[in-house]
Structure 1
Amino acid sequence: MVPGRRPSSAMLELRHLRYFLATAEELNYGRAAERLRIAQPGLSQQIRNLEEIVGTQLFDRTRRSVKLTLAGELFVEEARKALQQTETALLVARRAGRGELGRIAIGYVGSAAYTGALTTMIGQFRTAYPEVELHISEMEMLPQLDQLDQGKLDIGFIRPPVPLPLGIVSTPILFEEIMLALPESHALAGQERVPLSALNGDIFITPRHPAGVSFHEHTTSACRAAGFFPRLGPQGRDFVTIASMVAVGLGVALVPQSLQSIQVPGLRYRAIAGSPVLAELAVAYRRNEPSPVARAFAAHARRSASAANPV
């Protein structure tokens, strides 16, 4: 190596750093070559190539010894840092590819929190993927589906039935009984089980959904099965609002069983007589999800659903 020679235009590769560090640690070409499992002449050539790239001599070589030059001593620490950083970058990329790192935006309807399914599923996911950043927000169901479709949301906790945008699918994670919410002043509020047909003359409060969607559909279909079409009255943004509307006497409502965790003065929850009417809670996600971490959550939801609802 001629002092002051200009650096080569050849590309520095990670193997150059590995070969250099092994030689610097062994200070013996034979032992370094054996450690690297390559031939000694090949190692010598790679070190010469590295010195060409760097533009200065890294080793003082004699027949009896190999020593680092000052440039070589300084290069050792930087080479170690470079390899360590590269290994860290590879590990991070691999973990992200497995869905162990990243960010997920999750939306949920308010009633999902009452069931315990939301907190249980997210808690289990956090235990399995502690470094995933979760952004969770309560959101009405139709805006959730719009944001899933637009890629602004990754996971949605929804209450079917509801038309899903193209490419969005859902997995049921819970089925719970539907109950009646009655004002405590209602003539039937004292009964433990109330025939739905006995409410033929009442006004039914439903969530703010179009016909055929979620509890709007549950209400109309259950009443039709009981032999009448319900008189639909005011709508509420969520079930807490609906519970308050029932309590002040604006009507009656069909609500999920888990809403009983919300106690409102003036309100009574009563079972529907006859065969149970069930409501579904589901997780919605993109069928062809590009994000590994969102795919990991969807897979977690499917596993949880299978465990909770075995065939």
Structure 2
Amino acid sequence: MPMIELRRLRYLVTVADEGHVTRAAERLGIAQPPLTRQIRLLEAELGVTLFERLPRGVRPTEAGRVVVEAARDVVARAERIKEIATRAARGEQGRLAIGYTSSAAFHPFVTQQIRAFRKARPGVLLELAEDGTPELVKALKDERLDAAFIRSTSTDVAGLAIEPLLEEKMVVALPAGHRLARESKLTLAELAEETFVFYRRPTGPGLYDAIMAACLAAGFSPAVGQEAPRLSSTLSLVASGLGVTLTPASMQRMNVEDVQFVRLKGAKGLVAPLLLATRRRDRSTLVEAFRREAKAAALKTNVAA
């Protein structure tokens, strides 16, 4: 049996609701003869009589009542599909996969943007993933992620659009009880004799290289005693007394016990950038909306600062 036209099912439901072909035609905005013809074609297609002709209208037959209810459900489903498509085109429905580095996860800007996007678009399914910059970049290229908050562009970002959002100050993290922990500010030169805890360069090459360069500019090459797989893990090593580290200021939000944070002075240019990465091609309406709103929020934040 050929597929039944959705248009005829709409006609069927309207005639049943009105109980009169002429009124149904007026409601549908078509002439009465074509509507009658379409109902007859539908009856022929189904092989059943759908309406009893009355002196002043029509009413569904027993078979017609069953078909009308089934048609009503099909029409309602079709309307929902249309609504879903419209909402998706407006960026109000669909799926958006967002990634972020472990350090970006503690930046209030990132959580605020995700929260605001979810609140404005409750019909959008947000999938979140935390990983290192190289892994996030690969996931973007493999189309497993749609956008990612990253800290550097030192990895291969071909095919991606990298847009700067904010720059964050760095602070010194020391074990509680360290001789420098009570200072209000520290210079990099005052850390020259310290053992450093770094996170592995492949995980965050941008910040790693920036810290190394800043230390060299301050007149020393940092002695790296331990390396951690994630920036957040370095604070656990610091808490254990294995060394000191430099970390984005937002990492203080971790509230790691036995770690003291001290502001850094005189290290001009040593900042932790927050960047938004997306694919240059195949951007969906949702990705464009997230990108646009993140950039607008960052601009307001920078102006306020």
TM-score by length of 1: 0.84
Aligned-partner Cα distance in 2 for 1:36–1:105 = 42
1:288 paired residue number: 281
Relative to 1, partners in 2 of residues 1:75 and 1:249: Cα closer, same or farther, differing over 3 Å? closer
Give yes or no for contact 1:171–1:305 (8 Å, CA) kept in 2: no
Give the counterpart of 1:220 among 208, 212, 223.
Answer: 212
Aligned-partner Cα distance in 2 for 1:289–1:186 = 51
Aligned-partner Cα distance in 2 for 1:261–1:66 = 71
Give yes or no for contact 2:8–2:38 (8 Å, CA) kept in 1: yes
Q: Secondary structure at the match of 1:280?
A: strand
Q: Does 2:272 correspond to 1:279?
A: yes
1:10 shift after superposition: 6.1
Give the counterpart of 1:66 among 58, 70, 79.
Answer: 58
1:156 shift after superposition: 2.2
Relative to 1, partners in 2 of residues 1:25 and 1:211: Cα closer, same or farther, differing over 3 Å? closer
Relative to 1, partners in 2 of residues 1:273 and 1:64: Cα closer, same or farther, differing over 3 Å? closer
Aligned-partner Cα distance in 1 for 2:164–2:258 = 33
Which amino acid in 1 is paired with 2:276?
Answer: V
Give yes or no for contact 2:151–2:204 (8 Å, CA) kept in 1: no
Aligned-partner Cα distance in 2 for 1:75–1:118 = 52
Aligned-partner Cα distance in 1 for 2:227–2:146 = 28
TM-score by length of 2: 0.85
Q: How many residues align?
A: 303
Relative to 1, partners in 2 of residues 1:64 and 1:156: Cα closer, same or farther, differing over 3 Å? closer
- Segment drifting more, 245-254 vs 171-180: 245-254
1:168 paired residue number: 160
- Segment drifting more, 75-84 vs 199-208: 199-208
Q: Does 2:185 correspond to 1:193?
A: yes
1:41 shift after superposition: 1.8
Q: Deviations over 1:227-259 (max 9, x none)?
A: 444344432222332223334443332111122
Relative to 1, partners in 2 of residues 1:66 and 1:265: Cα closer, same or farther, differing over 3 Å? closer
Give yes or no for contact 2:197–2:244 (8 Å, CA) kept in 1: yes
1:275 shift after superposition: 5.7
Relative to 1, partners in 2 of residues 1:180 and 1:71: Cα closer, same or farther, differing over 3 Å? same
Relative to 1, partners in 2 of residues 1:270 and 1:33: Cα closer, same or farther, differing over 3 Å? same
1:184 shift after superposition: 4.7
1:185 shift after superposition: 5.3
1:290 shift after superposition: 5.2
1:43 shift after superposition: 1.7
1:33 paired residue number: 25
2:235 paired residue number: 243
Aligned-partner Cα distance in 2 for 1:241–1:215 = 15
1:131 paired residue number: 123
Give yes or no for contact 1:244–1:264 (8 Å, CA) kept in 2: yes
Aligned-partner Cα distance in 1 for 2:105–2:245 = 19
Which amino acid in 1 is paired with 2:88?
Answer: A
Give the counterpart of 1:269 among 261, 265, 270.
Answer: 261
Higher-Rg member (1/2): 1
Aligned-partner Cα distance in 2 for 1:65–1:236 = 81
Relative to 1, partners in 2 of residues 1:42 and 1:230: Cα closer, same or farther, differing over 3 Å? same
1:257 paired residue number: 249
Give yes or no for contact 2:134–2:202 (8 Å, CA) kept in 1: no
Aligned-partner Cα distance in 1 for 2:198–2:261 = 16
